[in-house]
Amino acid sequence: MNFSIKIDHATGQRYMAVPTKGRALLFDYEINKGTAFSAREREELDLAGLLPPQISNMKQQLNRTYENFSSKTTNIEKFIYLTALQDRNEILYYRLLLEHIEEMMPVVYTPVVGEACQKFSHIYRRGRGVYISYNDQHNIARILKNVGIDNPSIIVVTDGERILGLGDQGAGGMGIPIGKLCLYTLCAGVSPYSTIPITLDVGTDNEERLNDPLYIGLRQKRVRGEAYQEFIDEFVKAVKKVFPLVCLQWEDFLKGNAIRQLNRFRDELCSFNDDIQGTAGVVLAGLYSALRITGKRMAEQRIVFAGAGASAQGISDLIVAALREDGLSEQEAIERIWTVDSRGLCIKDRAGLDDFKLRFARSGSEISGYACKDRSGISLEETIDNVKPAVLIGTSGHTGMFTETIVRKMAEYNERPVIFPLSNPTSKSEARPADVLSWSEGRAIVATGSPFDPVERNGKRFRIGQANNALIFPGVGLGVTVSRARRVTDSMFLDAAKAMAAMVTQKDLNETAVYPDLNRIRECSHAVACATIRRAVEEGHAEEEILEGLEETVRRAMWIPEYLPIRYEE
């Protein structure tokens, strides 16, 4: 970071003190204001003649940049334009996103970021973030020091193996940590100058990437087994040494690795996995909101998952915590959840069943009375027939998995069925909201993982709530950063879910939207951050003093994209 924020004690005004002058300022994206440099700044900072004479205010710059953005004819061109803007003027970039958050958030993150990861080697423009290859495993600490940030707040790290629903993208997976950290800043005001995106490059098994002459990553098959884990261990060891106070977020690891790394390190450093815990928090928040529509209790719910990967397990675990809080025992809560994977209902005695699926697998004796064609593979439809669930959640990554027959069965068994096709990107969604509403005669409560347009049906407008993790993880990260919490726990995500659900208004519910409008996301992140901090203090992971004036403390910690006066100071 090539500047510091100071206060002019004569005027009380904040300003940016920089050690450089001239053209160097125009190429520093953290400092550059472009045409908004004032006449005084141009003179004092040796910028005279290096910019057009007309001085623009931010509103004029926003109009210009939005006009350019709107002129792009494809989403990937819009993504590239916004990336280029961030590379030359980060403050303007974030201000533009805030002004057009509903339109632009799907471009900088899901679903367009998926395409950007697939094309990453072809649209690469400028280095952003840290690439640590398997060949660098004995040099990781020095690489981290090269970042130039002494006390970062948040690291988002991926190994690129499970990018959204698109699979192994190798080094192209860097688009995900960059995008996630963009959302930390956009949605919760975490300073962009304190975050680090990291890709751990252990190779790729994606033949298309390996055969691409422009591929920027290690051109080798993925390292696996003990060698892979030793590399991850070395990475964590280096992070603890160089950045002992940072919060580390694991992102888009293959389901087995995702669970393994979370469990291996969650009590060793301040870390969490957004695919597991963040997804769980936002889905639970949606369920809390849906129950306000149905008038039912959490303890009354029967829940079927289509998809039994890491995210499904994370959601299930947090729902168990919510069910227990509503009066059920641990075993009773577990028995309210059924998981269906690509081979059918998960059954305990199935050969080759993954260890992490066992917790919610059913016993053979339990299913002996099920009506089904083939007990060796009880289908999703048959599971719904036998269980008659109130809630159906899709994390399968399989397009169209929620068929008309399945949706009609859900509507037959429930006056207001809760149906969440959550798989990302949009092309992987288990069903289109318009179809779900049509097949359920407008009675289903629908939320999706990717953004969908509102649905008009019989004169009523249905706003499709998006179970976007950005409603949860940025606020949790902000809370951890502000409080300097030493650990991130599942209970923090339970409280975050409650805080988010409380932000859903009656107007939202009247449109059957179980999540708030994105235009209120900073307000929502503030509430989540405060809830996270209160739980951190309660569990002994943060100091009690932070609770005094908590809401104002959090509000003041939220970075706002605005220009400050710039002064040269050697």
Catalytic annotation, residues: 109, 180
363's CB contacts (< 8 A; 6+ apart) are 347, 348, 349
Single-letter amino acid, residue 267: D
Query: How far apart (Å, rounded) are the C-alpha atoms in residues 160 and 120?
Result: 12
**Which is it for the CA torsion 482, 485, 490, 492, positive or negative?**
negative
Nearest to 198, CA basis, from 243, 257, 165: 243
Query: How far apart (Å, rounded) are the C-alpha atoms in residues 301 and 421?
Result: 18
How big is the chain by its Cα radius of gyration, in Å? Answer: 24
Task: Tell me whether residue 570 is exposed, middle or buried, using C-beta atoms within 10 angstroms of its C-beta: 0 to 12, 13 to 18, 19 or more.
Answer: exposed
- Count of Cβ atoms closer than 10 Å to residue 27 Cβ: 12
Contacts by 255-259 with C-beta closer than 8 Å and gap 24+?
A: 255/162, 255/309, 255/310, 255/311, 255/356, 256/310, 256/354, 256/356, 257/159, 257/161, 257/228, 258/162, 258/310, 259/310, 259/313, 259/356
Determine contact, residues 485/531, Cβ cutoff 8 Å.
Answer: no
Determine contact, residues 417/410, Cβ cutoff 8 Å.
Answer: yes
Q: Locate the DSSP E strands across 450-505.
A: 455-457, 460-462, 465-466
SS3 call for 111? coil
Determine contact, residues 96/108, Cβ cutoff 8 Å.
Answer: no
Distances (CA, A) of 557 to 104, 193, 483, 554, 569: 24, 13, 11, 5, 25
For 238, the token pair is: 């280096």
Report DSSP letters for 288-351, one per residue. Answer: HHHHHHH---GGG--EEEE--SHHHHHHHHHHHHHHHHTT--HHHHHTTEEEEETTEE-BTT-T
Nearest to 315, CA basis, from 279, 358, 262, 266: 279
Nearest to 447, CA basis, from 396, 392, 496, 495: 392
Query: How far apart (Å, rounded) are the C-alpha atoms in residues 186 and 522?
Result: 8
Both ends of the chain: CA-CA distance in Å? 15
Length of the chain: 570
Query: How far apart (Å, rounded) are the C-alpha atoms in residues 459 and 118?
Result: 40
For 542, the token pair is: 């943060």
